[in-house]
């Protein structure tokens, strides 16, 4: 399954990148993110291991992965693996009309029994994921723009 969503955020590109890069910030706008850690306190780089815990209405899922792309203020990518699925997420940021155009490209590959479920319900799953992504981006936009407003 693939989902691509873009959003215009009225905030500088460096602030938007901060909100998609820093684990404590990401946890504020990703609806189901319960935990997010990097394996090292050093600056993030390609290959750095990460760990996430997602909480979907009480069902907790451990997800491990690594950073696949790290270009500050331009691109960030992660590859994540959980039980029955793998996810590649890529963010691209571009300056646009005094703000930032943020695009997220996601590819989800289901494995085992989940692959069969995806074959049967792919339209529903794709729509559900895209709607949640839009919800998350609305929250991200709110946080980024509120931060800019308090500085001005």
Region 63-70: mean pLDDT is: 96
Higher pLDDT, 149 or 52: 52
DSSP bridge partners of 3? 106
* 27-51 pLDDT, tens digit each: 999 999 999 998 776 678 899 999 9
pLDDT of residue 124: 59
At 23, which CATH number? 3.30.530.20
Q: Which of 10-19, 77-86, 87-96 has the lowest mean pLDDT?
A: 77-86
pLDDT of residue 84: 83
pLDDT above 80 for 151:
no
Give, as one character, the DSSP assignment of residue 35: E
pLDDT of residue 1: 78
CB proximity list for 130: less than 8 A, separation 6 or greater: 3, 5
Domain holding 106, by residue range, is: 2-151
For residues 116 and 83, what is the distance between their CA atoms, to the nearest angstrom?
15
For residues 114 and 116, what is the distance between their CA atoms, to the nearest angstrom?
5
Residue 34 region by backbone torsions, left for phi larger than 0, else alpha for psi between -120 and 50, else beta: alpha
For residues 31 and 43, what is the distance between their CA atoms, to the nearest angstrom?
25
**Residue spans of alpha helices (H) in the chain:** 13-21, 23-29, 113-151
Query: Based on the structure, what is the number of domains in the chain?
Result: 1
Higher pLDDT, 48 or 3: 48
* 116-137 pLDDT, tens digit each: 665 656 665 667 778 888 999 9
Task: Take residue 142 and report the two structure tokens written for it.
Answer: 């709110």
Higher pLDDT, 120 or 140: 140
For residues 128 and 1, what is the distance between their CA atoms, to the nearest angstrom?
12
């Amino acid at each position: 399954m693939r989902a691509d969503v873009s959003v215009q955020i009225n905030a500088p590109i460096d602030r938007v990148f901060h909100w998609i890069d820093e684990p404590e910030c990401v946890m504020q706008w990703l609806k189901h993110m319960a935990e997010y850690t990097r394996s090292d306190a050093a600056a993030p780089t390609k290959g750095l291991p990460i760990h996430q815990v997602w909480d979907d209405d009480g069902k907790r899922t451990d997800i491990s992965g690594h950073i696949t792309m790290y270009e500050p203020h331009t691109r960030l990518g992660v590859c994540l693996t959980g039980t029955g699925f793998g996810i590649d997420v890529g963010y691209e940021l571009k300056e646009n009309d005094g703000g930032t155009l943020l695009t997220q490209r996601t590819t989800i590959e289901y494995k085992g029994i989940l692959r069969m479920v995806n074959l049967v319900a792919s339209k529903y799953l794709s729509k559900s994921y895209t709607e949640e992504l839009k919800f998350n981006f609305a929250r991200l936009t709110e946080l980024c723009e509120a931060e800019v407003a308090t500085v001005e």
